[in-house]
Amino acid sequence: MGWDTMRRQRHERMVKMGLIDPKWQLSGRDSRAYDWKSANHDHEDLRMAVYAAMIDRMDQNIGRLMAALRKSGEADNTLVLFLSDNGGCAEEPGGRSPKIVPGPKEFYAAVGPSWGWAQNAPFRRYKSWAHEGGVATPCIAWWPGRVPTGSITKEVGHIIDFLPTFLELAGADYPKKHNGHEILPVEGKSLVEVLRGGTRKGHDQIAWEWSGNRALREGKWKVVWDKLDKKWSLFDLEADRTETTDLAATHPAQAKRLAGDWSTWAKRTGLNAKP
């Protein structure tokens, strides 16, 4: 069917399932995604077949883990969190040649930009980019009697929130010193209230950088620097979660301020990022 049709069907299915807001438009064609007609279909089919097999193996082993947890009698006393650190992988470390065979250990194969883009529908981009397709991933939480069954929260969280969450659940405090030396305070915020079905005061700002791509989010606003476009874009994530409309030209002061805040964050954290 090709990647465009697959993305459209996936978008429609997620809306129907209630996983995403119907007002989120399907983002446009990715600049690195090659056309389905020009692809080697047998090779592309094999790449995704191996990927599907990996998902199946992962799913089976998560099932074994959960079965062992229930057998131990500790299931009701255990919080299980499942998430990814980034969106679909668009890398091609071994190239796109059919000689790079997906699966065997002798080859280093990945699904490439077209599959990575399709997997991330309806979002833009994928792993290594700071658009929502690269930084937004679902987090599934399972904790009988604590996490409301079948619920979906729209609260914004970050992986740096995990440590404060675990500390709160364990009744522990983050240390201020280690071996007599003062250490930086933890920057995350506990997700315990969110896990219980409530809300919390989230981060004033969250920033990202990877491989030259960068972004900063403040409330509904997000600025994104795409290393291929080489410019800052501004998006209203409440109205446009899939980042289809760049508002930098209509809100230049907002874009400039948030881009400056990103630079301040980069300097504070010791990030060596070129403009």
CA angle (162, 164, 166) in 5-degree steps:
70
Provide the residue ranges of all domains of the chain, joining segments of one domain with +.
1-15+39-150, 159-202, 204-275
Average pLDDT estimate for 47-58:
94
Q: What b/e string do you get for 50-78 counting C-beta neighbours within 10 Å, with b at 16 or more?
A: bbeeeeeeeeeeeeeeeeebeeeeebeee
> Is the Cβ–Cβ distance between 203 and 261 less than 8 Å?
no
Cα–chain center distance at 120: 9
Determine the pLDDT at residue 242: 96
Q: Judge whether residue 42 has pLDDT over 80.
A: yes
Q: Label residue 273 by pLDDT band (50, 70, 90).
A: low
Query: What is the C-alpha separation between 181 and 237, in angstroms, rounded?
Result: 41
Determine the pLDDT at residue 87: 86
Dump pLDDT digits (tens) for 200-222: 999 999 999 999 999 999 999 99
CATH label, 204-275, candidates 1.10.10.10, 3.10.580.10, 3.30.1120.10, 3.40.50.280: 3.30.1120.10
Q: Model pTM?
A: 0.89
60 CB-near residues (< 8 Å, 6+ apart): none
- DSSP H helices, the chain, are 3-17, 41-72, 112-119, 132-135, 162-170, 192-195, 252-268
Query: What is the C-alpha separation between 50 and 27, in angstroms, rounded?
Result: 27
Dump pLDDT digits (tens) for 134-145: 999 889 999 999
Average pLDDT across the chain, whole number: 93
Residues comprising the chain, all counted: 275
Dump pLDDT digits (tens) for 72-129: 999 999 999 999 888 888 998 878 899 999 999 899 888 999 999 999 999 999 999 9
Distance of CA 250 to CAs 51, 217, 236, 240, Å? Answer: 42, 18, 12, 15
Q: What is the DSSP string of 21-51?
A: -TT-PPP---TTPPPGGGS-HHHHHHHHHHH
Dump pLDDT digits (tens) for 179-194: 999 998 899 999 999 9
Q: Judge whether residue 275 has pLDDT over 60.
A: no
Q: To the nearest 10°, the Cα dihedral for 193, 197, 203, 204?
A: -120
Q: What percent of the chain has pLDDT over 90?
A: 84
